[in-house]
Amino acid sequence: MNILIFELAGEMAMWRNVYEPMGSYSCLGPAPSNLAGLIGAAVGFAAPRSVAADHPDEKKLEQWNKAGLVWPVASELLQWEESKDFQVACRWIGKKFRRISWNVNGYKYMNTKSGEEGNNLRLQQQVILDPAYEVAVALPADEAERVAAALRKPAFPLCLGASFCRAIVRNVRIGESVPESPFWAFRTDGGALGEATPFSRHIVNPGSCFERIRSDGYWIYPTPDQPGVIAAEPLVRGWVRAGE
């Protein structure tokens, strides 16, 4: 296995914490599912309901929608994650991080008895300013070269979580090992202290459970203020199979 290494940066990042009850609050860094999605966008794996999808199976999508799987992940991406045994590591390499308010007007769809369809509302958001990360992915040699080429010239626009947070990919390279650093994110199943990202991974057989993501535990991003645990092996498996 080779190690594909690249840097992600941008003006803002919104890695939404689904456990945050008040508005949209960004975690410091992405979860494995976010990184898989970013690589899938670079390679050109289109989600079935996206405008880029080519002849999706509408009957299957409708069945999945009724079962609760509203926005399925591209089947090509799920197959890729499992067949390549997608393993990933990520760390913060930016300056001292800070969150800022980025509140925008949104639209809430509602079915009401009065016939009103919806109202504008203010979306309360907290984004990461000037984010920068280093990502390491373990891949077979030929696949590492293919993904590296895609990251340099992505098929679809790349984002840091939300579509309004465009990503810049730089310093793409292939090595033999994950660079040494005390700041690689580490997984924990217990309580989360510090900069905790829910440890979310794509379920590669969603038809068996009609869910696209499993979140179990947290991925903690060490910082100079809270250095945390130095993992002996920072790579984690970035996918999961329902029933395991």
Whole-structure pTM value = 0.86
Q: Are 159 and 188 in contact (CB under 8 A)?
A: no
Query: What is the predicted pLDDT for the residue at 115?
Result: 54
> How far apart are alpha carbons 120 and 34 in whole angstroms?
28
Q: What b/e readout covers 186-209, taking b as 16+ CB neighbours within 10 angstroms?
A: bbbeeebeebbbbbbbbbbebeee
> How high is the pLDDT of residue 31?
97
Q: Coil, strand or helix: which one is 127?
A: strand
pLDDT in tens, 138-154: 999 999 999 999 999 99
In the prediction, which pLDDT does 187 show?
Answer: 93
Kindly compute the dihedral angle of the four CA atoms of residues 75, 19, 117, 52, in this order, to the nearest 10 degrees. Answer: -20
74-87 tens-digit pLDDT: 889 999 999 999 99
Whether 42 has a pLDDT exceeding 70, the answer reads yes
Question: Do the beta carbons of residue 103 and residue 34 sit within 8 Å?
Answer: no
Output the six-digit token pair for 241.
């199979």
Average pLDDT value for residue range 120-135: 85
Cα end-to-end span (Å), the chain = 25
Give dist(CA 7, CA 173) in Å, integer. Answer: 10
Q: Which alpha helices (H) appear in the chain, and where do they start and end?
A: 32-43, 58-67, 75-83, 141-152
Task: Identify the residue with better confidence: 99 or 174.
Answer: 174
Distance of CA 85 to the CA centre of its chain: 17
| 62 vs 159 pLDDT, higher one | 159
